[in-house]
Amino acid sequence: MVCRLLSPLALVLLALAGPALAQPGPGGPPAVGVAQAKKQPVTETSEFVGRIQSISRVDLVARVTAFIQERRFTEGAEVHTGDLLYRLERAPFEAQVAAQAASVAQAQAVLQGGSLTLGRAEALLNTPAGQRSLVDDARSTQRSQAAQLANAQAQLRLAQTNLDYTEIKAPIDGKISRTTLTEGNVVSPSSGVLATIVSQDPMYVLFPVSVRAAVDLRDRYGDKGGFGAVTIKLRLPTGKLYEQAGKLDYVDPTVAANTDTLTLRGRVPNPVRPGSKPGEPGDRELSDGQFVTVTLEGVQPVEQIVIPRSAILSDQQGNYVWVVGDGNKVEQRRLQLGQNTPGLAVISAGLKEGETVVVDGVQRVRPGVTVTPGPVGAGPTLPASAPRT
């Protein structure tokens, strides 16, 4: 028996051709998984990146110059309107109030004397001893004394106001920051912010929307109640969906020139988490300045034509699907998509209810090809088991 050696090139060609010769391709139309376009209620959604903002924010600043005598709050705790936060040194202001009260009493006594003098001059006016000049002088003096009393009373009110400023109280409910100055320091109106209070419940969420998206939202919900037809849902930085829903309450009237966006604002409840106490770290889910994902949802679901998202293909001309028509022949169909969900594509135009689209096996489809349609996910049909070699 003569053995012939094959060249290396022949061996390579034989190796490449071997699988094709050993496993001939199956005959007949390619099998594909298909699904029908159908109508079903779809909740329209749009997602944006937003930031949480407190509705009220107050910087506490000293109104008078004095020593900080006492701090009456716990840093990071929640305070309520009227709570005493700082007490400043009061003695100098109390002395000023007492001095101004004495000035008021003196001015009242002087005015009382001037009024008596005016009365006597007027009583003598109709007698031989009376003179018009005396009456005029007495009236002028009495009016000057009345003005001096009014000035003393104003100075007393100012002194009392400065005394009241020695007690710095919370003007709103909210969570208070750390203090920048402690007891024993001298504060004045130029000392800057002592602490900041930010309100906690509810919160604002602000998010920029492109002008195009804003027009789309307007057209989508304008005839369905406007703001009232939209619900705000938030997704926290952890990916967790926030349980409380909010409502839109404001649209910025000016477009940002550098980004071509409008700012929308919603109001979202921010209650204390179950099992937490107000003022504890992490007692509420939302914090001032926090980034969140904002989802705008329609209140009422809308009937839309939907197909599986895996059926949607894209090229330079846009989105399309393979539609199985008469005789199981495939044609390419261009689409306009609506607001998609994670698993479904909403079709605005291009498909009718009941039409069949290719979902599985799209790589085996070409325009005009005849296919063998089957259920999605059924997989290829396995041949009967062959004898093992």
**Tens digit of each residue's pLDDT (9 = 90 or more) over 123-147:** 777 666 557 777 777 788 888 888 9
Give me the amino acid identity at 309.
R
Q: pTM of the entire structure?
A: 0.64
Q: What is the pLDDT of residue 26?
A: 55
213 or 387: whose pLDDT is higher?
Answer: 213
Q: What is the pLDDT of residue 121?
A: 73
Say yes or no to pLDDT of 193 above 90. yes
3-state helix, strand, coil in the chain (%, to 5): 30, 35, 40
pLDDT digits over 84-98, tens only? 999 999 999 999 999
Which CATH homologous superfamily contains domain 45-55+200-302? Answer: Efflux pump adaptor protein, beta barrel domain (2.40.30.170)
Closest CA to 188 of 58, 68, 57, 87: 68
Which two three-digit tokens encode residue 43? 């909740």
**Across 272-292, average pLDDT:** 84
Which two three-digit tokens encode residue 306? 């939907």
Question: pLDDT band at residue 23, thresholds of 50, 70 and 90?
Answer: very low
Question: b/e string for 281-291 if b means 16 or more Cβ within 10 A?
Answer: eebbbbebebe
Distance CA 70, CA 20 (A): 91
Q: What is the pLDDT of residue 162?
A: 92
CATH topology of domain 30-41+304-375: 2.40.420
> By the 8 A CB rule, do 118 and 137 touch?
no
Torsion of CA 199, 202, 203, 209, to 10 degrees: -150
Distance CA 320, CA 322 (A): 7
- Write down the domain spans for the chain: 30-41+304-375, 45-55+200-302, 59-85+170-198, 91-164
Question: pLDDT band at residue 176, thresholds of 50, 70 and 90?
Answer: very high
Residue with tokens 């969570």: 175
Q: What is the pLDDT of residue 340?
A: 65
Please, is 114 exposed, middle or buried when counting C-beta atoms within 10 Å of its C-beta (0-12, 13-18, 19+)? buried
Closest CA to 89 of 181, 184, 178: 184
Question: Do the domains 45-55+200-302 and 30-41+304-375 match in fold?
Answer: no
CATH code of 59-85+170-198, in short, is: 2.40.50.100
Q: What is the pLDDT of residue 25?
A: 42
Say yes or no to pLDDT of 24 above 90. no
CB atoms within 10 A of CB 111: 20
Q: What is the pLDDT of residue 129?
A: 58
Say yes or no to pLDDT of 194 above 50. yes
The per-residue pLDDT of the chain, averaged, comes to 81
* % of the chain beyond a pLDDT of 90: 30
